[in-house]
Amino acid sequence: MEWFFYVTAALAGLLAGSFLNVVIYRGPSMWGLIEESDGADRGTLLAPRSYCPQCRTRLSPLHLIPLASYLALRGRCAACGAAIPPRYPLVELAGALAALGALALFGASPEALLAAIFLWSLIALAAIDFETGFLPDALTLPLLLFGLLANVGDRFVPLEAAAVGAAAGYAAFGLIALAYAALRGREGLGAGDAKLLAAIGAWGGWPALAPAVFVGALATLAVVGVRAVMGKRVDAAAPIAFGPGLCLGGAAAFLGSAAG
């Protein structure tokens, strides 16, 4: 019977990833963080049905199938041939991996579903920060609250550790951002990073904070190193978002502390 749960988790994860792609594409415009160059509206999370951003052709149900449609179409819009960003299949794949990881760690349980929701939220936040440079309050703040609620009854970590984690995460990042701005003479870390770390603390408790920041910094430095090797600019004028790294660190720290 165990294979049945894993197949179900993988399919649910692909579908969740498909929905995350809608959030990643439409959220920033819906929340007023970015504006289309042509002033067009990207719609809400529920309407209209998914379309090609290039030619605006509505996708057929067959082309909404996660991952498989990308492979069948060889990464191009069926109507106009425009390249589909690799972010779509990557997010769908990440959604499936998150569901499988949650199931492997927590078994078929409410904990697995909650953990998957946390990981899916981090995927959306990482992709949005990568594409727009924003970590929307519309995602970080509900994630923080939901983390505290999830830990009522000491589900993943003791509720006190979660509350301290949320407060300390926000305060610590605020201090780091202030120190960074004082040292560099410019802002490098946004308020969104502080709210994200607060949410990570709410889910994984205060012991998850240091590992999350550490892994996040390592991942971000690795990206900076790769960019330097590839000959891209890495100076202060071309800032690299810390959010994606912090999401990765938060996922690792949460899974480490909650499953420990």
Cis, peptide link before residue 48, omega less than 30° from 0? yes
Q: Where are the beta strands (DSSP E) in 58-172?
A: none
Binding mask 127-166 for Zn ion (x = CB under 5 A): ----------------------------------------
Output the smallest distance, CB 59 to Zn ion, in A: 9
Residue appearing with tokens 């990833």: 17
Q: Please identify, using beta-carbon distances, which residue of 44 and 54 lies nearer to Zn ion.
A: 54
When asked if residue 52 is in the footprint of Zn ion (CB under 5 A), the reply is yes
Alpha carbons 194 and 217: distance in angstroms, whole number: 14
Among 44, 54, 60, 109, indicate the residue that binds Zn ion (CB under 5 A).
Answer: 54
Q: Please identify, using beta-carbon distances, which residue of 82 and 105 lies nearer to Zn ion.
A: 82
Residues 90-119 that bind Zn ion (CB under 5 A): none
When asked if residue 172 is in the footprint of Zn ion (CB under 5 A), the reply is no
Its sign, for the CA torsion 25, 148, 174, 243, is negative
When asked if residue 80 is in the footprint of Zn ion (CB under 5 A), the reply is yes
Output the smallest distance, CB 69 to Zn ion, in A: 13
When asked if residue 55 is in the footprint of Zn ion (CB under 5 A), the reply is yes
Question: Which residues, other chains included, contact 93 with Cβ-Cβ below 8 Å and sequence gap of 6+?
Answer: 14, 17, 67
Query: Which one-letter DSSP state was computed for residue 107?
Result: -
Q: Please identify, using beta-carbon distances, which residue of 12 and 57 lies nearer to Zn ion.
A: 57
Q: Please identify, using beta-carbon distances, which residue of 76 and 184 lies nearer to Zn ion.
A: 76
When asked if residue 84 is in the footprint of Zn ion (CB under 5 A), the reply is no
Per-residue tokens: 199? 């949410």
Q: Please identify, using beta-carbon distances, which residue of 57 and 132 lies nearer to Zn ion.
A: 57
Alpha carbons 127 and 146: distance in angstroms, whole number: 20
When asked if residue 83 is in the footprint of Zn ion (CB under 5 A), the reply is no
When asked if residue 77 is in the footprint of Zn ion (CB under 5 A), the reply is yes
Per-residue tokens: 136? 């929307």
Query: Distance from CA of residue 231 to its chain's centroid?
Result: 27
Q: For residue 58, which phi and psi values (nearest 5 degrees)?
A: -65, 140
Alpha carbons 227 and 220: distance in angstroms, whole number: 11
When asked if residue 73 is in the footprint of Zn ion (CB under 5 A), the reply is no
List 216's β-bridge partners, or say none. none
Output the smallest distance, CB 52 to Zn ion, in A: 3
When asked if residue 221 is in the footprint of Zn ion (CB under 5 A), the reply is no
Residues in the site for Zn ion, rule: CB under 5 A? 52, 54-55, 77, 79-80, 82
